[in-house]
Homo-oligomer: A and B are copies of this chain.
Amino acid sequence: MEIKEFQEGQSVDFHALIKSISLRETKTGKEYGAVELTDRSGAISGNLWDITDKQKSELTSGVVVHITGVISSYQGKLQIGFQSIQPTSEKAQEYVEAAPADLEKVMNYLTEFISSIENKHWRVIAEKIFEKHEEKFRAYPAAVKVHHAYAGGLAYHTSTMLIKAQAISKFYPWLNKELLCVGVLLHDIGKVLEMPGLFGENYTTEGELLGHLELLLEEIVEICVREDINHHEEDVLLLKHMVASHHGKLEWGTISTPRIPEAALLHMIDKMDAEMEQYRKIYEVLPKGEWTTSKEFFLGNTRVYRGNI
C-alpha cells in the first residue's frame, strides 16, 4: 500500500520511512512528536501524541516504521492518525528515490578505473579516499536540492561524468587525459563530509565552515603525509588544483579559478551534467507542448519548455 493512494477516512497499514521527527509541546505543556513519513510514492504527516521515552530514542529520522492508523483531513491536507508505530530493520534506501542505475555496476566501473590509474600518486590517493569514504559516497545524493538529489546520486553523477570525460578527452588528444579523469573521479567526494546524508537540509558544521572543496583537499594532504607522498610535487599539485578550481568562478565558491585546460574542462563537464540532469528530471513529468509553471533558478531562472517534436 503506497502513500499516494491514501484517501480520507481510510484505515491504513503500511511501511514508511521517518524523514523527520521533532518534539513539540501542546499548549498545556505535553510533549508530542511531529512526524513526517515518506515512501517512493509520496509523503504524509501526523502527530504522535503521548510519545514515550522508548519511542523518542527509537523513532529517529532514517528509520523505517510499520504503521497502522486512520487517514483524516486537516486544512485540506491528508494526515495520519496513529494507532501503532513500530520501528523495523528495513533499509531506508528502499524508501527513498534512488539513482536511475545499478549502483553495483556504477561502483565496479569506478573501482576498475581506480585500479587502472597509471600515475602512482594519484592511484594511491584515489584508493585511500575510496577506502575511507566508499560507503557514504555510494549512499549520498549529489546535492541536497538541485541535481542528482536522490540516493546514490553522488556515485551516479561521478560515473556518468567519468564516461563523458573519457569520450570528450578523445577530441582533445593534447590534454592529460588521466589528470582529467582522476579529477572527475574525486572532485565531489568531499561532499560526504559536507552534506547531512540522505536526510536533513543543513550542511555539517565542517561543511559550512570550510566547504567540500577544502574538505577534500585536506583529505588528500592527510593521505599524502601518511603515505609519504610529497604533496607539493607537480602531479599532486595539479590534482589539488583540479579539485580547488572545479567550481569555476569565485562567485560560485571556487578556491582558485582554472589555470590549465583539464581544470577548465572538468568544470564544464560538471556543469553540463548537472544542467542536463535537471532538464531530464523536469521532462519526466512535463508533458509535450507544455511549459513549467515556475522559473527554474538553476537553469537560467527561466521557465522551461518541452517541445512536441
Q: Specify the main secondary structure of chain A where it touches its partner.
A: helix
| Structural contact, B238 and A307, CB atoms closer than 8 A | yes
Q: Which of A12-20, A61-69, A164-172 contacts B (4 or more CB under 8 A)?
A: A164-172
Contact with B along A249-293 (1 / 0, CB 8 A): 111110111111100110010011001100110010000000100
Tell me, in angstroms, the Cα distance from A304 to B187 when the chains sit together.
21
Tell me, in angstroms, the Cα distance from A100 to B280 when the chains sit together.
36
Q: Which of A182-234 contact B (CB under 8 A)?
A: 202, 205-206, 208-211, 213-214, 217-218, 221-222, 225-226, 231-232, 234
Chain A residues within CB distance 8 Å of chain B: 7-8, 27, 73, 119, 160, 163-164, 167-168, 171-172, 174, 176, 179, 202, 205-206, 208-211, 213-214, 217-218, 221-222, 225-226, 231-232, 234-235, 237-238, 240-241, 244, 248-253, 255-261, 264-265, 268, 271-272, 275-276, 279-280, 283, 291, 299-300, 302-309
Contact sample, A vs B, 11 pairs, CB 8 Å cutoff: A8-B27, A205-B291, A208-B259, A209-B241, A209-B244, A209-B305, A214-B244, A221-B222, A249-B300, A253-B256, A260-B306
